[in-house]
């Protein structure tokens, strides 16, 4: 007789094969069609808010792995906060203005660009940015990121631009803005100032010159060095790799603490840092020399020097920025061409002299070099020095030098009129540092990092001489250069115009419209703002344009480079505007590297393309990798790592599938078993689930997603696959379909599935949604409409049975069974029977109470327990567990196999009607069914 039909095998349509690449789009379509995100907003209405403010990606290019990580981490945060009972909206944004897009237009339109009017050029930029947004948006959605994709904030929206102007007005009113002359990175090709972020460092070959600055007053020098008369002319030697800045030289800086030597070469006297005398003389080819005297740099302050080719006398000054690692220990100082030079120049009231025009040529009237391009002038400078006898030595040097990130060409420092947000004049630095201390930084070292940047950083140059950006809507007086007295009001007027007509409204504006008869006295500023100001004012702009977003945000979440980027600019604008941080917490993640720890780059060929992963393994596998990786450090990805992740995905998926399969025929509304009637091990399973759930929730709250991955995966493999589901299979399969023992297991599995699907949802969003649809019982349309599973309290009490000890015994028995298996005595554990001899009386009595059910723990056909002292000589000692000895005897069983439950039992055939069945199968097939209390 065939009893197979009496066995309750798992039954589910939930597919084992994920086929994510094909199936995920269906889920996306469902979310789209049923407006899942919008419905979630309705459902969450009234809950406490959790605002994650999106840092806008730049609207240029296809998304890469870094984007994917960032968006998925945000999505995990938002979804987990939602499941945690918050109203957690997600309004994505895009950063739209700025140089890279201008360049993109220049590149694609070619020469035609030059003919474009600025207005048309901006239109082209706008259209391009929009196309990029649309492309990126599809990719972000495909990752499973849920958000208000139909109403993102884009920084080129007229409303955003107008609000940005309002934010600026407030900052101006608060006294942070000034106009100044300052050396800024200047790209000769852009003809524009560059932000730090627009500069990158590349190797460059530069001339390296040692130049004489002759001492004007030899007697003064002699006195300072404490020597009598000097027999030869003396010079301070400076070392420079930018000879073209020598025309702008205003001083020579020495380190106050360093020692400087007066060295006689026979023909002349040189002044050099003592520790550098040797290398300098060596390269200059001086063979014999005598050190006459030595003093601290501080002693030489104010010494008068002759400029090497101009009729200009410059002083020796002191600066802590001077180093004696290379060069001569004497630094040529041109405040118009260097930040440190500028700063030290302020102190010594040096002139900020800049003879270089925006085109990178010396301006008309520059002696000797008028009209020459700066880098070309290097050679000329060197010739002039030679002629004047002021060149000690010349060579070439390869060093890291600032380059324009777009043009890849060397940039210069050039003093120009720019608009600044001052770090000091209205206490911005102080306020920012104070606010940094109030923010929670994850990981904690982020605080140190941004604080040290904030403490050091110079004033923020917010002006750009470009086209595609939000204007600095200012009028300056033609004679005095002062801002119009009603500037704040005027900006508001401009903001209203921009709100209607976008930024073109400003560029097209006739000043008379706002200034009427004053118009002729004022100049309309043509600069635009640094794009960092755009995104940096999102904390102000977004809440003004989207009702779901409020400020300050609960969290900003970006890559660790944003300590200098968006975290930084946002903090500055927010403190300047409101004197508070724009965020309560900041979370940063690392960058992607390959399995060898190297950064991903095209040249190394180790770049992982997210679209490709999604198209093969699926977004959920990529999401799982993101969750599984500790984002605090670098995040390594390679084919092997992806393979591992995909394998663990399958484990989790199959666990869910098995649970669903066993829930076949279970209706939670009618079939749930009360805790008091549940089988002990089922209650253990629910308890264990509850324990884990607490850990999972805690990990979500502390953003430790990789722990969730570890814990949940372990749960599936060890607790469920390796124990609970393994031993429960027998009961679910063989007891009556509607019997209490089976319903008890189903009740546990039901709660496990309810919990599991929710744990997974923020990470494996597609899979969780898929599982959700196969779960029994009435339920909402989407898993995301729910909060964490509530497990019945009476089921989650700590079990009185010492299950950990039983699990230990189980492992010990498994080791013994393995020996039999390897000896060929048994195959499956059901071929064996086991006798346990325990010294722990409590464990002994518990297991004795299990009675016939004990065998199910080991999945053996029989299992018995006895006091330790009755053990036979050949009993094998199990590994110690809490000082309690256990001895094991396993042997092949001699009983006959029941064809239905496959246990080998002595009572097989006792019932004449079912000659092939064991006793419990008989009762399960047509009797009242077996009882189970423990397993």
Partner RNA sequence: GGGUCUGUAGCUCAGUUGGUCAGAGCGCACCCCUGAUAAGGGUGAGGUCGGAGGUUCAAAUCCUCCCAGACCCA
Among positions 732-791, residues that touch RNA (CB under 7 A) are 733-734
The span from the CA of 294 to the CA of 737, in Å, is 100
**What's the min distance (Å) between Cβ of 372 and RNA?**
25
Q: Of 839, 848, 845, 855, which Cα lies nearest the Cα of 890?
A: 855
Cβ distance 317 to 239 under 8 Å? no
Of residues 21, 453, 519, 876, which one binds RNA by CB under 7 A? 453
- Measuring CA to CA, how many Å separate 745 from each of 74, 270, 680, 829? 37, 93, 10, 22
Of residues 284, 675, 814, 896, which one binds RNA by CB under 7 A? 814
Instruction: Name the burial class of residue 269, with classes exposed (0-12), middle (13-18) and buried (19+) by CB atoms within 10 angstroms of its CB.
Output: buried
- Our finding on whether 900 is near RNA (CB under 7 A) is yes
**What's the min distance (Å) between Cβ of 445 and RNA?**
3
Of residues 39, 304, 706, 779, which one binds RNA by CB under 7 A? 706
Dihedral sign for Cα atoms in the order 613, 619, 624, 626: positive
Of residues 43, 116, 181, 197, which one binds RNA by CB under 7 A? 197
Site for RNA in 594-613 (CB under 7 A): 595, 597-599
User: Which residues is 333 bridged to in the sheet?
Assistant: 251
- Our finding on whether 424 is near RNA (CB under 7 A) is no
- Our finding on whether 445 is near RNA (CB under 7 A) is yes
Site for RNA in 157-196 (CB under 7 A): 196
The span from the CA of 336 to the CA of 350, in Å, is 10
The total of other beta-carbon atoms located within 10 Å of residue 466's CB is 20
Of residues 817, 832, 908, 917, which one binds RNA by CB under 7 A? 817
- Our finding on whether 713 is near RNA (CB under 7 A) is yes
Beta strand pairing call for 904-905 and 259-264: unpaired
Beta strand pairing call for 234-240 and 269-273: parallel
Q: What is the DSSP string of 272-329?
A: EEGGGHHHHHHHHT----EEEEEEEGGGGTT-EEE-SSSS-EEEEEE-TT--SSSTTS
**What's the min distance (Å) between Cβ of 699 and RNA?**
10
Site for RNA in 860-879 (CB under 7 A): none
The span from the CA of 65 to the CA of 572, in Å, is 29
Beta strand pairing call for 555-559 and 475-477: unpaired
Of residues 675, 828, 876, 889, which one binds RNA by CB under 7 A? 828
Smaller CB separation from RNA, 666 or 902: 902
- Our finding on whether 545 is near RNA (CB under 7 A) is no
Residues 361-364: contacts with CB within 8 Å, 24+ apart? 362/247
Site for RNA in 555-594 (CB under 7 A): 559-561, 563-564, 590-591, 593
Q: Can you tell me whether residue 392 is helix, strand or coil? A: strand
- Our finding on whether 628 is near RNA (CB under 7 A) is yes
- Our finding on whether 730 is near RNA (CB under 7 A) is yes
Q: Of 70, 78, 72, 71, which Cα lies nearest the Cα of 40?
A: 78
Smaller CB separation from RNA, 359 or 640: 640
Of residues 818, 841, 845, 867, which one binds RNA by CB under 7 A? 818
- Our finding on whether 664 is near RNA (CB under 7 A) is no
Site for RNA in 26-45 (CB under 7 A): none
**What's the min distance (Å) between Cβ of 723 and RNA?**
7
- Our finding on whether 3 is near RNA (CB under 7 A) is yes
- Our finding on whether 691 is near RNA (CB under 7 A) is no
Return the exposure string of 747-779: e unless at least 16 CB atoms fall within 10 Å of the residue's CB, then b.
bbbbbbbbbbbbbbbbbbbbbbbbbbebbbeee
Smaller CB separation from RNA, 228 or 603: 603
- Our finding on whether 822 is near RNA (CB under 7 A) is yes
**What's the min distance (Å) between Cβ of 275 and RNA?**
15
Smaller CB separation from RNA, 322 or 483: 322
Q: Can you tell me whether residue 481 is helix, strand or coil? A: coil
- Our finding on whether 723 is near RNA (CB under 7 A) is yes
- Our finding on whether 452 is near RNA (CB under 7 A) is yes
Annotated binding site for Zn(2+): which residue ranges? Answer: 898, 901, 918, 921
Residue 187's φ and ψ, nearest 5 degrees, are: -95, 125
Segment holding 493, helix H or strand E: helix 487-501
Of residues 164, 235, 249, 655, which one binds RNA by CB under 7 A? 655
Stretch that binds RNA, among 428-436, 524-532, 705-713, 782-790 (CB under 7 A): 705-713
Annotated binding site for ATP: which residue ranges? Answer: 602
Print the binding letters for residues 378-417 with RNA: x by CB under 7 A, - otherwise. Answer: ----------------------x-x---------------
* Cβ contacts of 134 within 8 Å, gap of 6 or more: none
Task: Tell the residue number behind the tokens 């990130």, with chain if given.
Answer: 405
Annotated binding site for L-isoleucyl-5'-AMP: which residue ranges? Answer: 558
The span from the CA of 599 to the CA of 593, in Å, is 4
The span from the CA of 464 to the CA of 461, in Å, is 8
**What's the min distance (Å) between Cβ of 487 and RNA?**
30
- Our finding on whether 199 is near RNA (CB under 7 A) is yes
- Our finding on whether 710 is near RNA (CB under 7 A) is yes
The total of other beta-carbon atoms located within 10 Å of residue 62's CB is 12
Site for RNA in 320-359 (CB under 7 A): 325
* Cβ contacts of 41 within 8 Å, gap of 6 or more: 87, 89, 548
Q: How many helices (H) and strands (E) does the chain have?
A: 32, 32
Of residues 64, 103, 283, 449, which one binds RNA by CB under 7 A? 449
Smaller CB separation from RNA, 35 or 323: 323
**What's the min distance (Å) between Cβ of 588 and RNA?**
9
- Our finding on whether 49 is near RNA (CB under 7 A) is no
The span from the CA of 334 to the CA of 346, in Å, is 11
Stretch that binds RNA, among 35-43, 291-299, 717-725, 837-845 (CB under 7 A): 717-725
Smaller CB separation from RNA, 157 or 626: 626
**What's the min distance (Å) between Cβ of 797 and RNA?**
25
């Amino acid at each position: 007789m065939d009893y197979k039909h009496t066995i309750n095998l798992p039954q589910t349509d939930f597919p084992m094969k994920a086929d994510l690449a094909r199936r995920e789009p269906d889920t996306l379509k469902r979310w789209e069609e049923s407006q899942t995100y919008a419905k979630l907003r309705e459902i969450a209405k009234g809950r406490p808010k959790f605002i994650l403010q999106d840092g806008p990606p730049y609207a240029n290019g296809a998304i890469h792995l870094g984007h994917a990580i960032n968006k998925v981490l945000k999505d995990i945060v938002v979804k987990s906060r939602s499941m945690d009972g918050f109203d957690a909206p997600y309004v994505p944004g895009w950063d739209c203005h700025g140089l890279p897009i201008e360049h993109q237009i220049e590149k694609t339109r070619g020469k035609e660009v030059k003919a474009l009017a600025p207005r048309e050029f901006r239109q082209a930029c706008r259209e391009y940015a929009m196309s990029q947004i649309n492309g990126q948006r599809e990719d972000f959605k495909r990752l499973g990121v849920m958000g208000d994709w139909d109403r993102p904030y884009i920084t080129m929206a007229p409303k955003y631009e107008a609000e940005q102007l309002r934010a600026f007005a407030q900052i101006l009113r608060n006294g942070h803005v000034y106009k100044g002359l300052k050396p800024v990175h200047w790209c000769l090709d852009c003809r524009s100032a560059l932000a730090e972020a627009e500069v990158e460092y590349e190797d460059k070959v530069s001339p390296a010159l040692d130049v004489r600055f002759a001492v004007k007053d030899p007697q003064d020098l002699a006195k300072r060095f404490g020597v009598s008369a000097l027999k030869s002319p003396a010079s301070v030697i400076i070392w420079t790799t930018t000879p073209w800045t020598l025309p702008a030289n205003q001083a020579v800086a020495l380190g106050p603490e360093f020692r400087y030597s007066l060295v006689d070469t026979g023909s002349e006297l040189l002044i050099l840092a003592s520790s550098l005398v040797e290398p300098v003389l060596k390269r200059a080819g001086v063979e014999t020399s005598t050190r006459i005297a030595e003093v601290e740099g501080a002693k030489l302050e104010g010494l008068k020097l002759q400029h090497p080719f101009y009729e200009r006398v410059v002083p020796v000054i002191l600066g802590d920025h001077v180093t004696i690692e290379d060069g001569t220990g004497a630094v040529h100082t041109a405040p118009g061409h260097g930040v440190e030079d500028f700063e030290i120049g302020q102190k010594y009231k040096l002139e900020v002299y800049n003879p270089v025009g925006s085109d990178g040529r010396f301006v008309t009237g520059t002696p000797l070099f008028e009209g020459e391009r700066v880098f070309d002038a290097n050679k000329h400078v060197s010739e002039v020095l030679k002629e004047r006898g002021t060149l000690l030595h010349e060579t070439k040097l390869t060093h890291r030098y600032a380059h324009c990130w777009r043009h890849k060409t060397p940039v210069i420092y050039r003093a120009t009129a720019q608009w600044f947000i001052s770090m000091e004049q209205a206490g911005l630095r102080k306020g920012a540092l104070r606010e940094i201390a109030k923010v929670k930084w994850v990981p904690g070292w982020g605080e140190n990092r941004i604080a040290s940047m904030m403490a050091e950083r110079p004033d923020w140059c917010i002006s750009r001489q470009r086209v595609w950006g939000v204007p600095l809507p200012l009028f300056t007086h033609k004679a005095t250069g002062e801002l119009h007295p009603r500037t704040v009001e005027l900006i508001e007027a401009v903001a209203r115009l921009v709100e209607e007509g976008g930024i073109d409204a400003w560029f097209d504006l006739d000043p008379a419209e706002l200034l009427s008869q004053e118009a002729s006295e004022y100049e309309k500023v043509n600069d635009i703002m640094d794009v960092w100001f755009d995104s940096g004012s999102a904390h102000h702009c977004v809440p003004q344009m989207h009702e779901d977003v409020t400020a300050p945000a609960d969290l900003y979440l970006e890559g660790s480079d944003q300590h200098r980027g968006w975290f930084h600019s946002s903090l500055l604008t927010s403190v300047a505007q409101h004197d508070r941080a724009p965020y309560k917490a900041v979370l940063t993640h690392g960058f992607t590297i390959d399995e060898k720890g190297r950064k991903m780059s095209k040249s190394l060929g180790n770049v992982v393309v997210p679209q490709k992963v999604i198209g093969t393994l699926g977004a959920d596998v990529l999401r799982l990798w993101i969750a599984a990786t500790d984002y605090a450090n670098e995040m390594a990805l390679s084919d092997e790592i992806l393979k591992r992740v995909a394998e663990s995905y399958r484990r989790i998926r199959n666990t869910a599938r098995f649970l669903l399969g066993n829930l076949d025929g279970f209706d939670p509304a009618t079939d749930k078993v009360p805790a008091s009637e549940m089988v002990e091990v089922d209650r253990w399973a629910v308890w264990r689930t509850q324990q884990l759930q607490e850990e999972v929730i805690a990990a979500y709250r502390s953003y430790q997603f990789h722990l969730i991955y570890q814990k949940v995966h372990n749960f599936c493999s060890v607790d469920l696959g390796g124990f609970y589901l393994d031993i429960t299979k027998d009961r679910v399969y063989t007891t009556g379909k509607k019997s209490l023992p089976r319903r008890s297991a189903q009740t546990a599995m039901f709660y496990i599935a309810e919990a599991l699907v929710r744990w997974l949802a923020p990470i494996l969003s597609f899979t969780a949604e898929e599982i959700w649809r196969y779960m029994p019982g009435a339920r909402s349309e989407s898993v995301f409409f729910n909060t964490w599973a509530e497990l019945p309290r009476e089921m989650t009490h700590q079990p009185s049975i010492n299950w950990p000890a039983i699990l230990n015994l189980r492992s010990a028995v498994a080791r013994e069974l393995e020996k039999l298996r390897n000896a060929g005595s048994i195959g499956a554990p059901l071929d064996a029977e086991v006798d346990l001899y325990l010294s722990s009386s409590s464990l002994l009595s518990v297991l004795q109470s299990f009675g016939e059910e004990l065998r199910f723990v080991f999945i053996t056909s029989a299992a018995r327990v006895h006091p330790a002292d009755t053990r036979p000589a050949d009993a094998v000692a199990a590994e110690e567990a809490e000082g309690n000895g256990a001895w094991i005897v396993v042997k092949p069983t001699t009983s006959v196999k029941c064809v239905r439950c496959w246990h080998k039992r002595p009572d097989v055939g006792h019932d004449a009607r079912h000659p092939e069945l064991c006793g419990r199968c008989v009762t399960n097939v047509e009797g009242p069914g077996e009882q189970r209390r423990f397993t």
